[in-house]
Chains A and B, each alone.
Chain A
């Protein structure tokens, strides 16, 4: 089962690389959304440092949201999803592997880009480590929850808009605790409570999301 999991992860990573720079597009989108804020609100450093953590989180949320609709769609269209579903491995395991690959190609690059953007957004240095830690705990949850939405809307016309409508409300707890952790660190409080909440949501999502997404995918398959 582990072999199948790793094989699917490897396949999806390979596909992402051969199809050219999916991660790069996500990062470009992430940077551009963040860039709009200093242009829209004004470049005063005090203002930017106050909104930095929230802006970075919102931009990360949108970037993940944007990358979701291809998560299962390409595989459904070329029929490989049928083959994956026929494997003698439970479908939730396959789905978990695809989610892991999705996180490696979107969430992880976002985390790597975050310190640079935090610098550009004048985030005080005390918040850096917490922001990266919160992103490390939060972005896998975004991929996991997003996969449920992607699976529910995969066979649907104009599924993209519907996907956004369904997934965004479910992302909000991650946003709240993610920003909360950074705010706490900036005000010299212990950010641990917020990080624990993020970790708890992540664990819950790991248990629930692959099963729910697999269930939803079966709909698209019959």
Chain B
């Protein structure tokens, strides 16, 4: 892990991962969409609307998973002062927020035909909305500080504190009686989805994950290059000042 704290080594490693992740993302999302939208059977209860699941479920998993990843890399950043872990957490937030928004949006579109309403104040829906606000608060905290080093520590503390909400979201459908259906994919007895739908769903999940890796690598790279150019500008300004004759 310490090896990865060196941005140059991180850049080299990610250049190797990037084409692979991009290929997986394109292949899995492409195949999953075609399989899910055209070949998977319609649900016996929900008909064709069940196909929203192939976007909705991976988005929901990523919304939570990205947050957990952010909290873990924040902890790594705090404990080992790992510079790249900070950047990973920072770069993840907008992506996680986007997954969260996508999950809420597709859920709303799915809810209208199934439940007859765009929105209900049910535990699962509400807790995902809360997660969205936590993402926004996290991003706002990054912006609030002028010094990047301070912002990093503050945001890391918030990310770690906020992670207590994740189990609440995950288990909200079991702890409260809600309109939202219970877990069908990750249960003690294994998945309760028929194979005809499970395979395209798994493909989409892997595809979303790979897509996240691709976007994350690009965003962290941007962050590294941004910091370097800032440092170079500052060094140049200092040199410029040193060359001025004293008045």
Contacts and interface: CB of A to CB of B under 8 A. Distances in A.
Interface of A: 145, 148, 152-153, 155-159, 162, 165-166, 168-170, 172-173, 176, 204, 208, 212, 215-216, 219
Nearest to A216: B157
B215 interface: no
A217 to B, nearest CB: 10
A208 B161 contact: yes
Given A152-B141, A168-B133, A219 B154 contact: yes
Interface of B: 123, 126-127, 130-131, 133-134, 136-137, 140-141, 144-145, 150, 153-154, 157-158, 160-162, 164-165, 168
Given A159-B144, A219-B150, A219-B153, A152 B158 contact: yes
B168 A173 contact: yes
5 contacts: A152-B157, A156-B144, A158-B144, A162-B140, A170-B165
Contacts of B153: 215-216, 219
Contact of A152 (B127, B131, B154): B154
B133 A204 contact: no
A162 B164 contact: no
A69 to B, nearest CB: 13
B140 A148 contact: no
B79 to A, nearest CB: 12
A166 B141 contact: yes
B73 to A, nearest CB: 17
B161 A148 contact: yes
Contacts of B131: 169
B157 A165 contact: no
B161 A170 contact: yes
B144 A212 contact: no
Given A152-B141, A156-B144, A219-B150, A172 B136 contact: no
A212 B137 contact: no
Nearest to B127: A172
Contacts of B145: 155-156
A208 B140 CA distance: 23
A148 B165 CA distance: 15
Contact of B137 (A165, A172, A176): A165
B161 to A, nearest CB: 6
A148 B155 CA distance: 12
Contacts of B160: 212
Contact of A169 (B150, B157, B165): B165
Nearest to A211: B157
Given A152-B158, A172-B130, A212-B160, 11 more contacts: A152-B141, A153-B141, A155-B145, A165-B133, A165-B136, A166-B141, A169-B130, A169-B133, A169-B134, A212-B161, A215-B157
Contacts of B144: 153, 156-159, 162
A148 B154 CA distance: 10
A162 B137 contact: yes
B155 to A, nearest CB: 9
B154 A216 contact: yes
Nearest to B123: A176
Contacts of A155: 145, 150
Contacts of B141: 152-153, 162, 166
Contacts of B136: 165
A148 B134 CA distance: 14
A156 B141 CA distance: 9
Contacts of A204: 164
Nearest to A220: B150
A165 B134 CA distance: 8
A143 B134 CA distance: 19
Q: Which 7 A-B pairs have the closest CB atoms?
A: A166-B137, A156-B144, A165-B137, A169-B130, A169-B133, A169-B134, A152-B154
Contacts of B137: 162, 165-166, 169
